[in-house]
Copies of this chain bind each other. A is one copy, B any other.
Amino acid sequence: MTKSSLERFAPVLNLQHSARARMRPVSVSAVEISGGFWAEPLRINREITIPGQYRHLETTGRLDNFRRASGRKQCDFQGIFFNDSDVYKWLEAAAWALASDRDPEIEAMADAAIDEIAPAQQADGYLNTYYMFERAEQRFSNLAVMHELYCAGHLIQAAVAHHRATGKRSLLDVAVRLADHIDRTFGPEPGKRPGACGHEEAEMALVELAREVEEPRYLALADFMVACRGREPRVLDGKEYLQDHLPVARQFEMTGHAVRQLYLLCGVADLALEGEQPDLEHALQAIWNNFTERRIYITGGAGSRYEGEAFGGDYELPSDRAYAETCAAIASVMWNWRMLQLTGEARFADLLEWTLYNAVISGWSLDGSRYFYENPLSDSGKHRRSEWFGCACCPPNLARTIASLTGYLYSVADDGVYLHLYAASTAHLQDSRGSQLTIRQQTDYPRSGRIQITVESDSGLDSTLWVRIPGWVGEGAARVTVAGAETTAMSGAYFPIAIRGKLTEAVVDLPMAVQELEAGPEVASCWQRIALTRGPLVYCFEQADNGTLDLARCTVQPGVANWRIATDDAPGGQVMLEGDAEVQSEAGKLPLYHPWDSRAPTKSSCSLRAIPYYAWANRDPGPMLVWVAAR
């Protein structure tokens, strides 16, 4: 890969000129997955998911809505008023896929979609297929509810990705005209209005557009939208559900609609990357703490309430009715990625990886054709993935995340290159001293915790490869071997591997012990229960692996269950765990509520099998639980 193509296939976030970026991402195309865990999802995303979703866009009328708006087709508006966003998110997925592999079929689909979108844009730059014709007068009249700026944001994100991946301006020009229209409408200047969207998204999109076309107006507009929240005049009715209850700088809890909240945090982090915003950064940290200390699922899932797809109160984390929307987990990945680039702190990379493995890809069937909207932590067997949804936010969100995965493996900083995610891959990077580095990871992580790394440097100049030692590794248990010298590496931090000369070889060893985790006693649903993890994977118990055992009546004794590898071909290709347990037999039929001492004393030994949570619901329907009863 040549340097010029590296420049063209720019990173997921372009922070090359961001004033406050502690790290800068590398381009999606700079890293190639060479096998291991991610090879198959990336292939499936490219071959099955992205083409399959395009067909859904067509058959559900989402593309027809653009044809209607441009006058190419006479029909009613179809579906939900924010359906444009699904087309844009799909385009972003297609664009990132093209950044890795310029597949002509995907490029043709993307060009075809853009060819429907562009003529739907109005002369003044406005573009939203719902607010056409009889509804044209109502444009921007209901910012709290109607998602116009949200849709615009997704168009902008897609356009930026498409421009970076292909060099084409066909969608970018549309996005710029729309951004200019929004910029003429909203702002602090005379003749403009205060404004922000009830569903955040435009903020981060505008920052990214500002970076892409080097236009500071869009940055100022995003800043203005954030500043409009929680202040007079109330543009969003002051609703906490829409993060409009307080000025953002004074917000300190994860609250309201989960995806909205997390998209807001992405935009705020983007602003913080561009210029000093101490109050906003304080809010980012406070909300991150509230999230990780009180409102996150063990999977990384975000948002516990079905009603409103929202965050619940502190420790309100039910397993069976966990909402944990796939989009919210993706938004958390996006936010933690920005926090990582901003601060360089490994805890953000830890949560990003954990969320990716346990809350994002659970939203996807192993064959790439079906999706979860909600990701519960226990289920009776009724919750299954669907091919599509009326509100289809999650499927293309997954596709764009998987398509851009290679952009999340590394960052470059002044003090070296940072390796965030372990995955069999080859990367071509340039460090801050200008050396061209080729970094190869050989590993079947997370099946095993051994990663062999070679770094070739064209210059031979000294450099540093900082490798992330995840926080889940027990203290003092990780080892890094460089040139035959083994060192113990601190967990929850980046460990520096010195790059000397033209070839450096290193091995990272992360112990993959099975851990039995419990929750704090405030989490009512987890009381006297444990969840299993191995490496970055949360496990679950699914009926398909456990015969006729009644999972609700099984108990394990922490510390003595002797968790071991049962097979190495669990669904998803990871290891299946097995441990010793007891099953309580039902001694006759007891009432639902009955005296404690009437419990059936008869228990028998059994084995329980667990698979990675992300791989559940890919076989025959049956009960599943993450948190198994402990005794």
Partner-B contacts on A (CB < 8 A): 292-294, 296, 298, 305-307, 312-314, 316, 318-321, 378, 380, 382, 515-525, 527-531, 552-553, 558-559, 584, 590-597, 599, 627, 629-630
Q: List 11 A-B contacts (CB under 8 A).
A: A294-B592, A305-B306, A314-B380, A316-B320, A318-B525, A516-B596, A517-B596, A518-B596, A518-B599, A524-B552, A558-B596
Pick from B521, B552, B627, B630: contact of A522, CB under 8 Å: B552
B530 and A527 within 8 A (CB): no
Question: Given A313-B380, A552-B521, are A592 and B293 also a contact pair (CB < 8 Å)?
Answer: yes
A262 to B506, CA, bound (A): 68
Shortest distance from the beta carbon of A233 to any chain B beta carbon, whole Å: 25
Chain B residues in 8 Å Cβ range of A517: 593-596
Chain B residues in 8 Å Cβ range of A312: 321
Pick from B313, B527, B597, B627: contact of A629, CB under 8 Å: B527
B558 and A593 within 8 A (CB): no
A584 to B307, CA, bound (A): 34
Nearest B residue to A531, CB-CB: B593
Nearest B residue to A317, CB-CB: B592
A525 and B524 within 8 A (CB): yes
Question: Given A380-B314, A597-B559, A599-B518, are A296 and B528 also a contact pair (CB < 8 Å)?
Answer: no
Chain B residues in 8 Å Cβ range of A516: 595-597
B306 and A584 within 8 A (CB): no
B558 and A320 within 8 A (CB): no
B382 and A313 within 8 A (CB): yes
Nearest B residue to A296, CB-CB: B592
Chain B residues in 8 Å Cβ range of A518: 593-596, 599
Shortest distance from the beta carbon of A10 to any chain B beta carbon, whole Å: 36
Question: Given A531-B593, A593-B298, are A584 and B524 also a contact pair (CB < 8 Å)?
Answer: no
Chain B residues in 8 Å Cβ range of A593: 298, 517-520, 531
Given contacts A316-B321, A518-B594, A520-B592, 12 further A-B contacts (CB under 8 A): A294-B592, A318-B318, A378-B524, A516-B596, A517-B593, A517-B595, A518-B593, A518-B599, A519-B592, A520-B590, A523-B592, A530-B596
Nearest B residue to A553, CB-CB: B521
Question: Given A522-B552, A553-B521, A592-B292, are A528 and B306 also a contact pair (CB < 8 Å)?
Answer: no
A597 to B307, CA, bound (A): 36
Shortest distance from the beta carbon of A253 to any chain B beta carbon, whole Å: 13
Nearest B residue to A298, CB-CB: B593
Pick from B294, B525, B529, B596: contact of A559, CB under 8 Å: B596
Shortest distance from the beta carbon of A415 to any chain B beta carbon, whole Å: 28
A560 to B517, CA, bound (A): 29
A386 to B98, CA, bound (A): 57
A401 to B464, CA, bound (A): 76
